[in-house]
Amino acid sequence: MTNLNELYDAIVGGKLEQAKAVTNAAIAEGIAPQTIIDGYMVKGMEEIGARFEAGKAFVPNLLMSARAMKGSLDILKPLLKGDGSSSVGVIVIGTVKGDLHDIGKNLVASMLEGCGFEVINLGVDVSSEKFIDAARESNANIICMSALLTTTMNYMKEVVAAVKASGLQGKVKVMIGGAPLTNDFAKAIGADGYSSNANDAVALARKLLSA
C-alpha cells in the first residue's frame, strides 16, 4: 500500500522522481486526487514555507520543492474531474506583475479546468494590459488573479481599474486569491470575489457565473 507520507517527504525534500513515483502509485491504488493534493502535497509546501520563514530552508530548497510539486500536479491534472453539472465559462488566470509564484495559481487553474471551465493561463508577472487583452480576445467571463507577495497584491487594484476603463466591467468578473489576501482586501479593491483555496475557487467561479 502506498505511503503518502513519502509524497509529503518528497515535496518537502524537493525530490521530483520520488514525488512522481508515489503519485503514480497512489493513483494506481485509486486514491482520490483531492486527498493526495490537499492532504500531502499542499501540506508539504506549507512545511517548506515554514522552514524558509524560520531560516532553516533557502530559495534553492523552495525551487526544488516547487519542481516536485509541479511534477506531481502534472500527473494528477487530467484526473481532476468535477461533477460535470457546472455551467461552463471562460477564465483568464495569471499571477500579477512583479510576482513569480505560480504553484497555487496553477493548482487553481487545474481545478477549474478539471471542472469544465476553459482556462487561459497567462503565467506569471502578468500586466493589466495582458489581462485585459486576453479577456477581450477570449470573451472571458472571469479574470482570476493570484499574488503571494504583500508588495505585488496591490497591483490587483490597477487591474480592477483597467477592467473598468476597458468597458469590460459587467461582462467580466474579477476573482482573486493568494496567501496574503483576504475577503476584506477583495472588497476594498472592488474585486467580485476571493477564495483562500483551489476547491472554493471552483465554487466561487460557478457562483459568479450564475450571478
Binding site for ligand B12 (CB under 6 A): 42, 45-46, 48-49, 52-53, 59, 62-63, 66, 98-105, 107-108, 144-146, 148-150, 175-180, 195-198, 201
Choice between 126 and 168, CB closer to ligand B12: 126
Q: Rounded to the nearest whole angstrom, what is the least distance from the CB of residue 17 to ligand B12 in the complex?
A: 18
- CB nearer to ligand B12: give 22 or 205: 205
> Nearer to ligand B12 by C-beta: 2 or 199?
199
Query: Helix, strand, coil % (nearest 5) of the chain?
Result: 55, 10, 30
CA-nearest of 192, 182, 110, 204 to 159 is 192
Nearer to ligand B12, 4 or 66 (CB): 66
Q: Cβ 155 to ligand B12, closest distance in Å? A: 12
Contact 61, 52 (CB under 8 A): yes
Relative orientation angle of helices 128-138 and 155-166, to the nearest 10 degrees: 40
d(C-alpha 33, C-alpha 23), whole Å: 9
How far is it, in rounded angstroms, from Cα 144 to Cα 136?
14
- Closer of 30 and 60 to ligand B12 (Cβ): 60
Report the sign of the C-alpha dihedral through residues 9, 11, 14, 18, in that order. Answer: positive
CB of 145 to ligand B12, least distance (A): 6
Q: How far is the CB of 1 from ligand B12 (least distance, A)?
A: 26
Q: Choose between 42 and 134: whose C-beta lies nearer to ligand B12.
A: 42
**Could you tell me the smallest distance in angstroms from the CB atom of residue 138 to ligand B12?**
16
8 Å CB contact between 14 and 72: no
- Are the C-beta atoms of residues 157 and 189 closer than 8 Å to each other? yes
CB 197 → ligand B12: shortest distance, Å? 4
Helix (H, G, I), strand (E, B) or coil at 86: coil
Cell of 178: 493568494
